[in-house]
Amino acid sequence: MFVQDTEDQIFIDCLAGAGTFALGHNHPDVVNAVTEYISTGGPWQTLDITSPAKNNFVSEVYKILPDEFSQSAKLQFCGPAGTDAMEAAIKLAKIATGRSGIWSFSGAYHGMTNGTLALMGNINTKSPVPGLMADVQFMPFPYEYRCPFGLTGAESIKANLNYLEHQLSDQHSGTPLPAAIVVEAIQGEGGVIPAPKEWLQGLREITERHGVLLILDEIQCGIGRSGDMFAFEIADINPDVIAMSKAVGGGLPMALIAYHEKLDQWKPGAHTGTFRGNQLAMISGAKTLKILRETNLIESVKEKGQFLLESLHNLKSDCDFIGDIRGRGLMIGIEIVDTQSAGKSKAPNPELATKIQQQCLQQGLILETGGRSGATIRFLPPLNISQEELKTVTNIFISSVAEVMRNL
C-alpha cells in the first residue's frame, strides 16, 4: 500500500499503478515467484513459443473466465499494453463480421493508439490528432448524474436503451450496423461511472439480436476490482470479447483478449508483436490470479468498497460541492462541482478537485483525478488494503477536505 519518495515521505497509494497492483507493491508471494523464476535461468521473453510459464498463465486465465464463456474461449496475447488488446479486439471484430463500424460511448477510454483514441470520449485529448480510425459512432453512456435524457433511475436506463435500439434498427438513423460495440462495465477515466446491471443486460440483448459483437473492456474494472472477477459479471451476461491488461499481469506489462471461438477467423500472425511472450509478467500474473482465486480477497472487496462509500457519503451533507459519489468495489469516485452553477447536476469544478487532491498528497495520500474536466477524485487502492489502512485513507481524505474548506 505504501510508497516512499526521494525525500523519505511515505504515501498510502490509492492509485496503485493505475490499477495494475491488485495485491499492492512488491507482494511477497509475487516477488518470490518472479525471483525464483529468474534464478532458474529461464528465458525472459519467448515471442510466441509455448513455455511452462505460459502454459501455467493460460490455465490461470481460463480459470478466472466465467464458466460458460471459458468453454468456447480462445486467447490472443497482445503487445503488453491495454490499448493493444483493444486494437486486437477491434481487428478481430472487423474481420469476423466483415463490417467496419465500431461504436463506443460518451466518457469512454480504451487507450491512446490511432484506433482506440478514435473510441475515446475526451475530445480535448483526441482532437489534436487528425485522421483517427474512421467509422466510429458514440452512444450515450448511462451516466445518471449527467443523464443526457434528463432522467433518473429506471427511466434513464430505459431511455438510453431505447435510443440504442432505435439507432440500430431505424433505416434512417444514419448509423450503419457496426461490427462491434465496445464498453467498460465501469468507466474509469471517464469518471468512475458504473453501468447499471439492467443496462448491461439490455445492451447484451440488443447487440445479440442485431448480430453486433459486444466487446467488454475489463482492462481497468476487471480482475476483482469491482468485487467480482469481471465487472460485467454483475449482469450475468456473456460478451463476445473480453479485453484484459493492467492487474492481469500482476504489475508487469501484459495484455490479452479472450473471445468466442466462432470469431476465430483471422489468420495466424494477424496480430503479432514482439513483446507478447513476456515470461516474467506471466509468472507474476499467474501468481496474482491464483491468489485472487484461492483467497476471499475479491469477496472482501465488496465490503471494503461499501465501507469507503459510506464513509464518503457521511461527508456529503456538510459539503455541497460534492455532486456525486459513486462506484463499485474498490473503484470509487467523488465528483466535485461548482455550487454556484445552475441546474440539478452542477458544472464540474476541477480547481477544487485538484486542491483536495493536493491537500491529500501533502498528508500522504495518493489519489487520481479524472472524469469530466478532471473533477472526479478517484480511489483505486490495491484490493488487499486492510480495514485499518482504509480507515487511514478516509481520515486523511476527510481532514484534507476540511482543510481545503477552511481556506475557501
Ligand X SMILES: Cc1ncc(COP(=O)(O)O)c(C=O)c1O
Q: Contact residues for ligand X (CB under 6 A)?
A: 18, 81-83, 86, 109-111, 184, 188-189, 217, 219-220, 245
Nearer to ligand X, 110 or 355 (CB): 110
Instruction: Provide, rounded to whole angstroms, the least separation between the CB of residue 253 and ligand X.
Output: 8
What angle in degrees, to the nearest 10, is found between the helix axes of 350-362 and 387-406?
120
Instruction: Provide, rounded to whole angstroms, the least separation between the CB of residue 232 and ligand X.
Output: 12
Nearer to ligand X, 90 or 322 (CB): 90
Which residue is at the shortest CB distance from ligand X? Answer: 82
Instruction: Provide, rounded to whole angstroms, the least separation between the CB of residue 248 and ligand X.
Output: 11
What are 83's three cell numbers? 490499448
Instruction: Provide, rounded to whole angstroms, the least separation between the CB of residue 228 and ligand X.
Output: 16
**Which three-class secondary structure state does DSSP give residue 4?**
strand
* Distance of alpha carbon 207 from alpha carbon 181, whole angstroms: 8
Nearer to ligand X, 105 or 145 (CB): 105
Nearer to ligand X, 104 or 373 (CB): 104
Q: Are 25 and 3 in contact (CB under 8 A)?
A: yes
Nearer to ligand X, 188 or 382 (CB): 188
What are 242's three cell numbers? 473480453
Instruction: Provide, rounded to whole angstroms, the least separation between the CB of residue 226 and ligand X.
Output: 12
For residue 343, the 8-state DSSP code is S
∠ CA 178-180-181, rounded to 5°:
105
Report how far Cα 90 is from the mean position of its chain's Cα atoms.
17
∠ CA 294-296-299, rounded to 5°:
130
Amino acid at 332: I
Nearer to ligand X, 228 or 346 (CB): 228
Nearer to ligand X, 111 or 277 (CB): 111
Nearer to ligand X, 109 or 379 (CB): 109
Nearer to ligand X, 3 or 18 (CB): 18
Instruction: Provide, rounded to whole angstroms, the least separation between the CB of residue 182 and ligand X.
Output: 9
Instruction: Provide, rounded to whole angstroms, the least separation between the CB of residue 214 and ligand X.
Output: 15
Reading phi first (left if > 0) and then psi (alpha if -120 to 50, else beta), residue 117 is in alpha
**Which three-class secondary structure state does DSSP give residue 198?**
helix
Instruction: Provide, rounded to whole angstroms, the least separation between the CB of residue 283 and ligand X.
Output: 19
Instruction: Provide, rounded to whole angstroms, the least separation between the CB of residue 3 and ligand X.
Output: 19
Cα distances (angstroms) measured from residue 91 to each of 42, 76, 102, 168, 271: 33, 12, 10, 21, 8
* Distance of alpha carbon 386 from alpha carbon 388, whole angstroms: 5
Cα of first residue to Cα of last residue in the chain, in angstroms, is 31
* Distance of alpha carbon 157 from alpha carbon 147, whole angstroms: 9
Cα distances (angstroms) measured from residue 191 to each of 31, 184, 188, 327, 403: 32, 12, 6, 9, 24
Nearer to ligand X, 111 or 178 (CB): 111
For residue 182, the 8-state DSSP code is E
What are 122's three cell numbers? 475526451
Pseudo-torsion of CA 113, 117, 120, 123, nearest 10°? Answer: 140
Instruction: Provide, rounded to whole angstroms, the least separation between the CB of residue 257 and ligand X.
Output: 12
Q: Are 205 and 236 in contact (CB under 8 A)?
A: no
